[in-house]
Amino acid sequence: MEGRPLDEQELVEQARGGDARAYEVLVRRYQDLAFRTAWVIAGGADAEDAAQEGFVKAWYALPRFRAGSPFRPWLLAIVANEARNRRRSGRRQDDLALRVAEDRPSGDAAPSPEAAALAGEQRRLLLAAVSRLAEPDRQVIACRYFLELSEAEMAAALGCRRGTVKSRLSRALGRLRAALAEQGAGAAASATGLPGGDR
Amino acid sequence: MSRRELDLEAALADLAADLRFPPTPDLAAAVTARLEEGPARNPARRRPPARRWPAWMAGWRRLAVAGLAVLLLAAAVLVASPGTREAVARRLGLRGIGVRVGGPPPPTVTTAPGARLDLGLGERVTLGEARRRAAFPVLVPTAAGFDRPDAVFVNGAVPPGGRVDLVYRARPGLPASSFTDAGLLITEFRGQPEPEFLKKVTGAGMVRSVTVGGEPGFFFSGEPHFFSYQDTTGQFREEQTRLAGNTLIWQRGDLTLRLEGDLPMAEAVRIAESMR
């Protein structure tokens, strides 16, 4: 793309005016986010379907989009809704079905192979603990830390009020902490400073 | 925020850096292809209603199947009034229309994507005929331009006591809903506490409590809704292609009414209050 990339508002305005090319740029820009959000909510095979359907519905709903308001939460609400509906009609997603990369050593300084292996193991344990949380807890944690959504975006993706996002996250973190403690992962947790079995 | 929380948050952030999501499929290409092949319902160039009318009328007639209830789902952020969502859920609801906020809807089976809207509208009749056949006095807006609906449907079977639907074509000042192609859809029926004929489950979305002619109502807006239906076997059928625009539901004596259209709340209420 030559020149500066069009900013979001310009693209949304053009798309609202019926410019499918502008919309395609928006889809390309947010497809990672939409797909991953759908993945967190619906998981597996439904995620692609939900994200695609969400983008199509968002296009038809664009006339209703309030000009000047942020596009991402609006889009996420539609995509997440699609994802939830697919998940409801299908089986419940059992875990996040995500994996931890094997190739990244831990920390900034070059660690010993043993330390790297240990750190990798700790991440896997933490991911496993997140995966075992109840669905609402898992989703709020994934939205915040794995998708790095803002509060408004989390509210949109989770279909809850913005005011409740913080408390919901805090409760989920509490339960994750308890689960880690229960896991008897004191050893694993303490090595990274994870509050595990210190209560 | 406590140190413990920060530690756990730091660990999660560290984990996130290592997390591998599956590769994102090429959604942009797929979406663009679907928009090109789909009905050219471009927001800027809506199909003229005159051309659109026969197609969706045929669809509605064809699909006028008894035994359907409508489940409304809404996306977005609930901005409803003070109190918890549970409190809101308890407070909402009119005779024949249950409104639940949050929580999962009943189990659904999904209709094929692209399947046409099924509102279970019933038989198309004249307004006079509808008045003769309905078990209740049929109300029609007296607001200028709304006193003569473009189409009237009667369904004697669902819900018990029957229903009447008034449909208005899109026209200047009454934009076509991107979802129904119609400008306005008004449904009226004699609501019973049980069974619920319409269910509105809103995970979120803007819900405002309104008064229509001194009686209670609710206005749903902010995000598209979509419909699913309960068929005669009690199964909810999810209609993937149907999105609903702003919707006003309200009570008038023993009648329950629903008005859907791309209208601001004040205009919806004005039309509703003019119904005689």
Q: What is the CATH number of the domain that holds A133?
A: 1.10.10.10
More confident call, B158 vs B59:
B158
Is B150 among the domain residues?
A: yes
Question: Rounded CA gap, B184 and A30, in Å?
Answer: 33
Beta bridge partners of B220: B207, B247
* Whole-number pLDDT of residue B190: 78
Judging contacts by C-beta atoms under 8 Å, the chain B residues touching residue A161 are: 77-79, 85, 204
**Residues B143-183: tens digit of each pLDDT:** 998 999 988 988 776 666 678 989 888 888 888 776 566 78
Answer yes or no: do A56 and B34 touch at CB < 8 A.
Answer: yes
Is B125 among the domain residues?
A: yes
ipTM of the modeled complex? 0.81
Is B82 among the domain residues?
A: yes
Give the CATH number for residue A20: 1.10.1740.10
Amino acid at B22: P
By three-state DSSP, how is residue B144 classified?
coil
* Whole-number pLDDT of residue A163: 86
Judging contacts by C-beta atoms under 8 Å, the chain A residues touching residue B43 are: 15-18, 59-60, 62-63
* Chosen domain end from A55, A73, A89: A89
Question: Are A69 and A16 contained in the same domain?
Answer: yes
Which two tokens mark A102? 């094997």
Amino acid at A79: V
Is B157 among the domain residues?
A: yes
* Whole-number pLDDT of residue B263: 85
Q: What is the largest CA-CA distance in chain A?
A: 58
Is B29 among the domain residues?
A: no
Judging contacts by C-beta atoms under 8 Å, the chain A residues touching residue B5 are: 170, 173
Question: Rounded CA gap, B203 and B39, in Å?
Answer: 28
Question: Rounded CA gap, B11 and A75, in Å?
Answer: 29
Please count the structural domains in chain B: 1
Is B155 among the domain residues?
A: yes
Query: What is the DSSP code (8-state) at residue A62?
Result: G
> Nearest C-alpha of chain B: how many angstroms from A46?
12
- What percentage of chain B carries pLDDT values higher than 90? 10
* Whole-number pLDDT of residue B220: 76
**Residues A154-167: tens digit of each pLDDT:** 999 998 888 899 99
Dihedrals φ, ψ of B260, to 5°? Answer: -120, 130
> Nearest C-alpha of chain A: how many angstroms from B247?
13
* Whole-number pLDDT of residue B176: 76
Report the range out of A48-62, B30-44, B110-124, B163-177 with the highest average pLDDT.
A48-62
**Mean pLDDT, residues B68-80 taken together:** 27
Decide: residue B23, CB within 10 A, 0-12 exposed, 13-18 middle, 19+ buried: exposed
Question: Are A119 and A169 contained in the same domain?
Answer: yes
**Mean pLDDT, residues B36-64 taken together:** 38
Range of the domain at B67: 52-273
The minimal CB distance from B204 to the residues A59, A141, A159 is found for: A159
Question: Rounded CA gap, A75 and B120, in Å?
Answer: 30
More confident call, B58 vs B184:
B184
Question: Are A51 and A120 contained in the same domain?
Answer: no
Decide: residue B115, CB within 10 A, 0-12 exposed, 13-18 middle, 19+ buried: middle
Is A107 among the domain residues?
A: no
Question: Are A156 and A85 contained in the same domain?
Answer: no
> Nearest C-alpha of chain A: how many angstroms from B141?
25
The minimal CB distance from B76 to the residues A62, A104, A156 is found for: A156
Nearest to B165 by CA among B187, B147, B146, B184: B187
> At B262, is the pLDDT very low, low, confident or very high (cuts 50, 70, 90)?
confident
* Whole-number pLDDT of residue A72: 93
Q: Is the pLDDT assigned to residue B64 strictly greater than 50?
A: no
**Mean pLDDT, residues B8-27 taken together:** 87
Is A199 among the domain residues?
A: no
Is B218 among the domain residues?
A: yes
* Whole-number pLDDT of residue B72: 30
Search chain B and give the residue with CA nearest A24: B28
Question: Are A12 and A85 contained in the same domain?
Answer: yes
CB atoms within 10 A of CB A99: 13
Whether this model's pTM surpasses 0.80: no
Find out whether A123 and A116 touch, Cβ atoms under 8 Å.
no
The single residue listed with the structure tokens 């942020």 is A70
Is B115 among the domain residues?
A: yes
Search chain B and give the residue with CA nearest A198: B4
Ranges of chain A whose pLDDT falls below 50: 1-3, 105-108, 185-199
Range of the domain at A84: 8-89
* Whole-number pLDDT of residue A18: 84
Task: Sheet with B108-110: list strands edge to edge.
Answer: B97-101, B198-202, B69-74, B225-230, B236-244, B108-110
* Chosen domain end from A89, A121, A156: A89
Please count the structural domains in chain A: 2
Is A49 among the domain residues?
A: yes
Q: Is the pLDDT assigned to residue B274 strictly greater than 90?
A: yes
The minimal CB distance from A123 to the residues B10, B15, B21 is found for: B15
**Mean pLDDT, residues B78-105 taken together:** 43
Which two tokens mark B231? 């068929």
Is A95 among the domain residues?
A: no
**Residues B204-252: tens digit of each pLDDT:** 456 677 889 888 887 877 555 444 433 333 344 443 224 456 888 888 8
* Whole-number pLDDT of residue A111: 58
CB pairs under 8 A between A and B: 192
**Residues A38-54: tens digit of each pLDDT:** 999 987 768 888 999 99
The alpha helices in A62-110, defined as continuous H runs, are 71-89
Is A24 among the domain residues?
A: yes
